[in-house]
Amino acid sequence: MEKNEFQKLWKVFEVIAIGCVLLGALLVLYLIRGLLTPFIIAFVITFFLSPVVNYMEGEGVNRTFAIILLIILTFIFLLILWKLTWPTIQTEISSFQKNAPFYTGKIQDKLEGAMKLLEKKAGFIPQGVMQKAMQQKIGDFTSGMGDVGSLLKIVREFVITFILTQVVVFFFLKDGRKIKKVLIAYVPNKYFETFLTLFHEIHQQISNYIRGQFTDAFIVGVLAIIALYVSGINYAIFIGAVAGLVNIVPYVGLLTGFTFGGLLVLIDTGSIIEALKCVGVLAFVKLLDDIAISPVVVGRSVNVHPLMVIIVISFGGMVHGVWGMVLSVPLYCSMRVSLRILYRGFVEYGKW
Partner 1 sequence: MGGRNRLNAILRKIQGKEGRIIPVLRTVSLFEGLAFRDLKKIELIVHERTFMPDEIVFYERQPGAGMYIIKKGLIKLTKTTNGEKVTIAEVGEGEFFGEMSLLEDYPRSAEATAAVKTEVLGIFRPDLFDLIDRNPRLGSKILMKLSQRLSSRLRRMTDMKMKEVESNGKE
Q: Given the rule CB under 8 A, which residues bind partner 1? A: 54-55, 57-58, 177-178, 181, 184-185, 189-190, 192-193, 196-197, 200, 344-345, 349, 351-352
Could you give the CA distance from residue 72 to residue 49 in angstroms, rounded to a whole number?
13
Rounded least distance, CB 54 to partner 1, Å: 5
Are 267 and 107 contacting, i.e. CB atoms less than 8 angstroms apart?
yes
What single DSSP character describes residue 189? Answer: G
Q: Minimal CA–CA distance to 245: which of 285, 214, 270?
A: 214
Nearer to partner 1 by Cβ, of 98 and 344: the residue is 344
Residue with Cβ nearer partner 1 (68 or 145): 68
For partner 1, the closer CB: 137 or 177 = 177
Nearer to partner 1 by Cβ, of 33 and 174: the residue is 174
- For residue 44, with 0-12 CB atoms within 10 Å meaning exposed, 13-18 middle and 19 or more buried, which class applies? buried
> What is d(CA 227, CA 209) in angstroms, rounded to the nearest whole number?
26
In whole angstroms, how close is the CB of 330 to partner 1 at the nearest point? 18
Q: How far is the CB of 190 from partner 1 (least distance, A)?
A: 8
- Concatenated DSSP letters of 193-216: HHHHHHHHHHHHHHHHHHHHHHHH
Q: For partner 1, which is the closer residue by CB, 197 or 231?
A: 197
Amino acid, single-letter form, for residue 88: T
Residues for the chain: how many in total? Answer: 352
Q: How far is the CB of 21 from partner 1 (least distance, A)?
A: 21
Task: Compute the chain's Rg from CA coordinates.
Answer: 25
Nearer to partner 1, 160 or 185 (CB): 185
Q: How far is the CB of 201 from partner 1 (least distance, A)?
A: 9
* Closest distance to partner 1 from the beta carbon of 65 (Å): 14
Q: Which 3 state secondary structure label does DSSP give 63? A: helix
